Chains A and B, each alone.
Chain A
């Protein structure tokens, strides 16, 4: 068996593929990468299919030892990458060989980095996906566990791969003061015009209750005219307002159904950005139409496909 040995698992490192779909009906959530953009780039920079299993590293502190010859790339948050003690460029694929020590330090900007290898890690899918959902105990190497010291990450040997790098000008910046686009929907009628105006013109802060289930924010209270609703399906990015009037943006590991009123939903391009924020960061909301949201999504997809990578070697 070839692969990588986990010397230090980091604070919170999870195996993720693009997510688990089609099983909401038995209560399984989506899982998958919080920052889908950095995730897709990690796979693309290795010429992988875009659904390959890779590591989502939150905050940092990961150390691996290679027992295989392959290529490796790190995208997402600015966690300094060292291979055998030498600092290396991120968004840039590197050849590694058995015995190499790969270190990801703590992030200086952003919260989630993605580490991928050629062909992805070989992880048996559960319900069609390797995505780790710790709350459900499903996915990853075993029972939804986060990465542990001593784990082994199996992957195939790959010595003839093409290596690529993404030019600096195309790499995202992770600011801690951002504007997030929201489509009003769901129970928006339960919110007064004054409350909606306040929601879309105020500053909110990311609290320390921010995780893969959702980001709880703090700021001016928004009060819907109803307390609760008959429990209903919650989509990715939905912004739920519980009784305390403080918004929660629901992310990949959210409950599939719930009974709090929702003012609308954040677009996925921006859930990827909010998930890069740490407690204390500032956010604003900007209202856009569903048509704008569709256009932005399609544009981003076209841009992703057309952005040229630089070939190496």
Chain B
């Protein structure tokens, strides 16, 4: 059950479970909104992830004992039943060997045709479990085990912006050009992070995401670049 550990001098980490599961993730989400309102000015930042929540507090406003007992009190009674509270967001994806250099290889390795990989990836409804690594990088899960593929043994120096990628049972859209070791299977024309927009991201933790296959022309029409 819920476990609280010391993380650093002004941070505690709350574990809600040991595995990725929508019910655990839903608890993390509930905890985020509860702590934002209840801890308010004692709180410096929160980092929600798959099954944990890092709580960073103001060391000059309170100590770890006070925060720990508040966390126990507030989070002990989170309900277990809510699962999919977030919005459903559809992200268009142009799947092809042209836009996804690892698509054919991934299909071969997992014993499927390219068409089957696309179908399996796009028919699943994913949940945003965490955002991190880089601004706007949303970890989506869980990928069907039939197309789950480990990271590349040698990461790429440059993964293009918008790359739709798979690593084990996680999938994501790279928000900007960056190095990366995930398998690239397509491109998404929707910007995942824009510091000048509000909100900056089309998704937030707890939302649900579906990929909708589009063709080359549609991709370009939606502003995608090749």
A interface vs B, CB < 8 Å? Answer: 21-28, 126-127, 135-138, 183-186, 230-238, 255-258, 262, 264-268, 290-291, 293-294, 297-298, 301
Contacts and interface: CB of A to CB of B under 8 A. Distances in A.
B38 interface: no
A22 B45 contact: yes
Interface in B19-39: 19-20, 32
A252 to B, nearest CB: 13
A136 B53 contact: no
A122 B120 CA distance: 52
A230 B50 CA distance: 7
A237 B47 CA distance: 15
A265 B64 CA distance: 15
Given A26-B201, A186-B7, A267-B9, A232 B137 contact: no
Given A230-B51, A257-B49, A183 B9 contact: yes
B139 interface: yes
Which A-B residue pairs are the 4 nearest by beta carbons? A233-B54, A233-B47, A257-B132, A265-B8
Contact of A233 (B10, B19, B49): B49
A231 B47 CA distance: 11
Contact of B8 (A21, A25, A237, A255): A237
Interface string B44-80: 1111111111101001100110000000000000000
Contacts of A233: 7, 11, 13, 47-49, 52-54, 132
A232 B50 contact: yes
B222 interface: no
Nearest to B177: A137
Contact count band on B: 35 or more
A183 B195 CA distance: 35
Contact of B9 (A23, A138, A234, A268): A268
B136 A27 contact: yes
Contacts of A234: 47, 54
A235 B51 contact: no
Given A21-B45, A234-B54, A294-B64, 18 more contacts: A24-B45, A25-B46, A25-B131, A126-B195, A186-B7, A230-B18, A230-B19, A230-B51, A232-B47, A233-B53, A255-B132, A255-B133, A256-B132, A257-B47, A257-B133, A258-B132, A265-B11, A290-B64
Contacts of A21: 44-45
Contacts, number: 137
A294 B133 contact: no
A27 B131 CA distance: 6
A52 to B, nearest CB: 19
Grouping DSSP codes into helix (H, G, I), strand (E, B) and loop, the B interface class, with mixed when no group exceeds half, is loop
A237 B131 contact: no
A236 B18 contact: no
B135 A27 contact: yes
B46 A24 contact: yes
Nearest to B54: A233
B204 interface: yes
30 contacts: A24-B56, A24-B132, A25-B48, A27-B131, A27-B134, A27-B136, A28-B135, A127-B195, A138-B135, A183-B8, A185-B7, A186-B5, A230-B18, A230-B49, A230-B51, A231-B139, A232-B47, A232-B51, A233-B53, A235-B8, A235-B10, A235-B11, A235-B56, A238-B7, A256-B47, A257-B47, A257-B49, A258-B133, A265-B8, A298-B59
B166 interface: no
Interface in B85-112: none
A301 B60 contact: yes
Given A230-B51, A257-B49, A290-B64, A265 B130 contact: no
Given A231-B50, A233-B13, A255-B133, A294 B59 contact: yes
B180 to A, nearest CB: 13
Contact of A183 (B6, B18, B20): B6
A264 B157 CA distance: 31
Nearest to A239: B8
B13 A186 contact: yes
A198 B205 CA distance: 39
Interface in B137-171: 137, 139
Contacts of A23: 45
B126 interface: no
